[in-house]
């Protein structure tokens, strides 16, 4: 059981944007810092811009920055936004099919477990996990 890379990267992008506090960040820079593909970062950034978490500008002076205060960015909300499939079991997905799905108690327990999982993130905002800009410095001797 694991969150998708998409969600993982979204949280990293938000942490980086918060650390750079008002200084624009580029997709290329983000990809380099985390050693991940630019294409992935681009999709994540677009998604976070659409959802109002980031503001973005195109062109040479382009890049993205945080649009909301970190204390207004709830981690549970970010996870719900980014996780496409919260099915837990196949039968809980829209196209899921299992012979016993009409009578089985597992989907109910799965929903309760998912809610308990998300409740932990719902109690946290980006401001609870802020890092200094130096944490993202590849030349930082602590890494």
Q: Which residues bind its own copies (CB under 8 A)?
A: 1-5, 8, 11-12, 15, 33-35, 75, 83, 85-90, 93, 97-100, 102-106, 109-110, 112-114, 116-121, 124, 128-129, 131, 135-136, 138, 142-143
Residue placing its CB nearer to its own copies in the complex, 30 or 45: 30
Of 56, 51, 16, 64, the closest CA to residue 36 belongs to 16
Residue placing its CB nearer to its own copies in the complex, 60 or 138: 138
CB of residue 115 to its own copies, shortest distance in Å:
8
CB of residue 10 to its own copies, shortest distance in Å:
11
Query: Whole-angstrom Cα distance, residue 143 to residue 129?
Result: 18
Residue placing its CB nearer to its own copies in the complex, 57 or 133: 133
Cβ atoms of 71 and 127 within 8 Å: the answer is: yes
H or E element: which one contains 97? none
HEC string of 101-141 equals CCCCCHHHHHHHHHHHHHHHHHCCEHHHCCCCHHHHCCCCC
Residue placing its CB nearer to its own copies in the complex, 1 or 61: 1
Cβ atoms of 128 and 16 within 8 Å: the answer is: no
Other CB atoms within 10 Å distance of the CB of residue 22: 7
CB of residue 120 to its own copies, shortest distance in Å:
4
CB of residue 18 to its own copies, shortest distance in Å:
12
CB of residue 58 to its own copies, shortest distance in Å:
27
Q: Which residues, at least 6 apart from 37, have a Cβ–Cβ distance to it below 8 Å?
A: 31
Residue placing its CB nearer to its own copies in the complex, 39 or 93: 93
């Amino acid at each position: 059981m694991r969150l998708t890379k998409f969600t993982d990267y979204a949280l990293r992008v938000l942490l980086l944007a918060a650390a750079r506090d008002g200084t624009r960040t580029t997709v290329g820079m983000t990809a380099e810092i985390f050693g991940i593909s630019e294409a992935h970062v681009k999709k994540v950034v677009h998604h976070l811009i659409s959802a109002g978490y980031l503001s973005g500008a195109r062109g040479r002076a382009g890049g993205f920055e945080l649009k909301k205060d970190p204390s207004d960015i709830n981690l549970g909300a970010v996870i719900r936004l980014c996780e496409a499939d919260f099915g837990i079991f196949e039968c809980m997905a829209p196209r899921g099919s299992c012979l016993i799905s009409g009578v089985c108690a597992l989907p109910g327990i799965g929903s309760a477990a998912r809610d308990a999982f998300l409740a932990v993130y719902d109690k946290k905002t980006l401001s609870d996990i802020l890092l200094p800009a130096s944490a993202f410095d590849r030349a930082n001797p602590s890494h």
